[in-house]
Amino acid sequence: HLTERGGAGVGAMSRRERGPESGPGGAEAAAEDVEPAEPESPDQCLSLLPWDRFSAWLHCVCVVGFDLELGQAVEVIYPPHSKLTDKEKTNICYLSFPDSNSGCLGDTQFCFRFRRSPGRKVSLCCFLDQLDRELPVYLKKDSAYYYGYVYFRQVRDKSLKRGYFQKSLVLISKLPYVHLFRTMLKQIAPEYFEKSEAFLEAVCSDIDRWPPPVAGKVLQLPIMGVIMKLRIPTYRDKPGTTPIVQNMHQADAQISMALPTVHEVDLFRCFCPVFFHIQMLWELVLLGEPLVVMAPSPAESSETVLALVSCISPLKYCSDFRPYFTIHDSEFKEYTTRTQAPPSVILGVTNPFFAKTLQHWPHIIRIGDIKLPGEVPKQVKVKKLKNLKTLDSKPGVYTSYKPYLNKDEEIVKQLQKGVQQKRPTEAQSVILRRYFLELTESFIIPLERYVASLMPLQKCISPWKSPPQLRQFSQDDFMKTLEKAGPQLTSGLKGDWIGLYRHFLKSPNFDGWFRSRQKEMTQKLEALHLEALCNENLVFWCQKHTEVEAVDLVLKLKNKLLQADREHLPVKTETLKKLQTHINDIILALPDDLQDILLKTGTT
């Protein structure tokens, strides 16, 4: 499976306007009788200028060093025209270095996430949005945030005043492709620290030759003599399945490496320190509860936060999360204030100061160095919050939260057995990921089923009336459905499922999920309305009505076509072509003067 580079290369001038047929709507709920159109290749949708391909993957590359007078400082931003505000630069500076207490000697990799400064326009907006539509909801980019992927090196160097060489190579991107960028940094950072600026320029030049990040294709990404092969998941993939990217034989001398995933972390390794509490942590993440992870280094804090966020997949975690958070962060005051309840956010911290500052937070996960257990971890009880005084407190989960569901002993036994049998950590992670997926699906299926029932029947859709509205979500009605069609149909877990649903319906994760479903179903109704219009004999209708009414219909139909394109409605290409033919036929049946006006008229 080798993808072609597609269209023209950097700076080429082939442009093809996106017609109404471009892009499916991404609505799973809308896929029964209205097929989405085949998307155009993003390579064809606009001419790619120098740095456009680079910008589809990264915002910029930064080098952060330590200056005796200034402290941390951004030494290099590449490409040089990349824009970062002073606030963004300050955040990057502090987040790119471990806290001094972490004592990270040698090379360390971690990631962080920070708010973008508002008001900046993105030149490739339409292009990137088109790519985004194909992604599963949990991989869609959040335009309000950037990720920073860090490779930090600290080694003794007697020639420097401080006695240490300290520098970070940082990739800034909107894409949550943790594994891809981690792998890439491992390839380029060690060589960069030896060779410096010219090497960085060559790296960026390589990235600017990459194909766009199209979901569902096997992509080949060359980077300094190595070809990374990977596949970005699509929303059509069955949850829990990862198509294998084969490592194919290269005819030339280039080394090829296949990435098993672009975004997943080593789940089992991350959850090892809190092995016995995985189900409770799943509940806390699902409900959007304030969570802080206290860890000895940014590597452990960032991996654990990312593991927590991913444990409710395929649901999207809709609140803020910070894989590594410092006291210098621009949101520090906002997130640590005691004047209001802690916000719905997951923070990863390493500074001992947070043990005091976040004492009032309801749920704290304290982890030591993440090591894979050589023996089965001993049963650990949930600890009381009042016992957490310092960052030196013993690893564990500190909370007074009482889980809604009874504990699933099976998964614990299965993973313990794996430890005893020295099962590879990748296999343990697969078991754990499947467990979380089945738990999340058992929880979400009754909600999906109920929300689908809010859709008006197809017979209620008339071409001559506006599309009908969705019925309102009623908590009481939904709760009534649980008796016969609740999670017990797919999960053997007992417990207070009703209480868990009541709590979830008040959470940001429900709000985000329901808004997304509402949008999909509204688009489905619009698409069905378009189908209904296409199946009418519109020319015959116009013959029975006045010219004014015929002109009004033409303008409305033109607006419908524009809406289908703008909102990427899940409509078949044939339907849109048929509607355009109807419009042309109606116009041709009108007097010449009106024809001239209508053929020139655009619509709002």
Answer positive or negative: Cα dihedral of 493, 499, 502, 505.
Answer: negative
Q: Which residues pair with 359 in a beta bridge?
A: none
Domain termination site, one of 493, 509, 525: 509
pLDDT at 378 over 60: no
Same-domain check for residues 282 and 358: yes
Flag whether 115 is in a domain: yes
* Angle separating helix axes 425-452 and 497-504, nearest 10 degrees: 80
149 and 278 part of one domain: no
Q: Is the pLDDT of residue 354 over 60?
A: yes
Report the alpha-carbon distance of residue 218 to residue 260 in Å, rounded.
11
Instruction: Name the band, by pLDDT with cuts 50, 70 and 90, for residue 27.
Output: very low
Report the pLDDT value the prediction gives residue 566, as an integer from 0 to 100: 82
Residue 479 lies in a domain: yes
Mean pLDDT computed over 227-237: 91
Out of 25-29, 363-367, 424-428, 501-505, give the one with best mean pLDDT.
Answer: 501-505
Q: Which has more confidence, 478 or 11? A: 478
Domain tally for the chain?
A: 4
- Does 547 fall in a domain? yes
- Provide the pLDDT for residue 391: 47
Q: What is the mean pLDDT of residues 158-171?
A: 84
Per-residue pLDDT band for 8 (boundaries 50, 70, 90) equals very low
| Residue 553 CB neighbour total at 10 angstroms | 19
Q: What is the pLDDT of residue 184?
A: 96
Distance between CA atoms of residues 243 and 562, nearest Å: 36
- CATH classification at residue 150: 3.30.450.200
Higher pLDDT among residues 241 and 337, named by residue: 337
Closest by alpha carbon to 2, among 224, 286, 217?
A: 217
Six-digit token string for 115: 């708010």
CA 603 to mean position of chain CA atoms:
35
Give me the count of residues in the chain. Answer: 604
**Nearest by Cα to 122 from 110, 134, 131:** 131
Q: Rounded CA gap, 137 and 265, in Å?
A: 18
% the chain with pLDDT above 90: 45
Is the pLDDT confidence value at 245 over 70?
no
Query: Which tokens is 34 given?
Result: 């209205």
Same domain for 291 and 159: no
CA distance 219 to 394: 44
C-alpha angle 436-438-439 in degrees, rounded to nearest 5: 60
Residue 358 lies in a domain: yes
> In whole numbers, what is the pLDDT of the chain averaged over residues?
82
What is the per-residue pLDDT for 597? 76
- Of 188, 205, 222, the residue at which a domain comes to its end is 205
**131 and 85 in one domain?**
yes
User: Which carries the bigger pLDDT value, residue 258 or residue 252?
Assistant: 258
Instruction: Give the pLDDT of residue 290.
Output: 96
Does a structural domain hold residue 383?
yes
Please give the pLDDT value at position 43.
Answer: 45
Taking alpha carbons only, the member of 158, 390, 102, 414 closest to residue 275 is: 414
Residue found by looking up tokens 């999670």 in the block: 487
pLDDT at 11: 28
Same domain for 156 and 277, yes or no, is no
DSSP state at residue 36: P
pTM of the model: 0.84
Tokens 């452990």 locate to: 300
Over residues 455-471, mean pLDDT: 84
Domain co-membership, 167 together with 285: no
Q: What is the pLDDT of residue 382?
A: 73
Q: What is the pLDDT of residue 244?
A: 64
E strands along 157-281, which residues?
164-173, 218-223, 226-231, 255-258
What pLDDT is attached to residue 169?
A: 95
Determine, yes or no, domain membership for 236: no
Give Rg (Cα) of the chain: 27
How far is residue 435's CA from residue 411's CA, in Å, rounded to a whole number? 7
pLDDT of the residue at 229: 93
| Out of 41-45, 228-232, 348-352, 568-572, least confident range | 41-45
Q: Both 189 and 82 in a single domain?
A: yes
Q: Which is more confident, 537 or 19?
A: 537
Q: How many whole angstroms separate alpha carbon 215 and alpha carbon 176?
A: 13
Q: How high is the pLDDT of residue 431?
A: 93
10 Å Cβ neighbour count for 176?
A: 22
pLDDT > 70 in the chain, percent: 83
Q: What's the pLDDT score for residue 588? A: 80
Alpha-carbon gap, residue 322 to 113, rounded angstroms: 6
Residue with token string 């009336």: 465
pLDDT at 243: 66
Q: Give the largest Cα separation in the chain, rounded.
A: 93
Instruction: Give residue 67's pLDDT.
Output: 75
pLDDT at 253: 52
* Nearest alpha-carbon partner for 323 in 207, 120, 182: 182
* Residue 377 banded pLDDT, cuts 50, 70, 90: low
Per-residue pLDDT tens over the stretch 490-514: 888 899 999 999 999 999 999 999 9
My answer on whether 198 and 346 are in the same domain is: no
pLDDT grade for 380, boundaries at 50, 70 and 90: low
What is residue 124's predicted lDDT score, i.e. its pLDDT? 56
Encoded amino acid at 119, one letter: G
Q: Are residues 179 and 307 in the same domain?
A: no
pLDDT of residue 249: 53
pLDDT number for residue 13: 26
Contact predicate 111/302, CB 8 Å: yes
Q: How confident is the model at residue 36 (pLDDT cuts 50, 70, 90)?
A: very low
Helix (H) or strand (E) holding 513: helix 508-534
pLDDT of 141: 85
Residue 26 in this model has a pLDDT that exceeds 70: no
Per the CB < 8 A criterion, the answer to whether 127 and 227 are in contact is no
More confident residue, 571 or 307: 307
Highest average pLDDT, of 64-68, 175-179, 366-370, comes from 175-179
The answer on pLDDT for 45 being more than 80 is no
Q: Please list, in sequence order, all residues whose beta carbon lies within 8 angstroms of the beta carbon of residue 32, skipping any fewer than 6 positions away.
A: none
Q: Is 444 found in the same domain as 427?
A: no
Residues 127-153: tens digit of each pLDDT: 667 778 889 888 988 889 999 999 999
Q: Which of 431, 461, 493 is the last residue of a domain?
A: 431
pLDDT at residue 12 in the model: 28
Half-sphere exposure of 293 (CA within 13 A, CB side): 35
Work out the average pLDDT over 183-205.
91
- DSSP annotation of 242 reads -
Grade residue 293 by pLDDT with cuts at 50, 70 and 90. Answer: very high
450 and 581 co-located in one domain = no
Asked whether residue 36 is assigned to any structural domain, the reply reads no
- Mean pLDDT for 546-551 is 82
What pLDDT shows up at residue 242? 66
- Domain, as residue range, for 174: 52-205
Residue 517 covered by a domain: no
What CATH number corresponds to the domain at position 282? 3.40.50
The DSSP output letter for 383 is B
pLDDT, mean of residues 254-273: 88
357-375 pLDDT, tens digit each: 888 899 999 987 655 555 5
The predicted structure's pLDDT at residue 357: 87
489 and 383 fall within a common domain: no
H helices present in 389-493, as ranges: 409-420, 425-452, 475-485
Q: What pLDDT, on the 0 to 100 scale, is given for residue 585?
A: 84
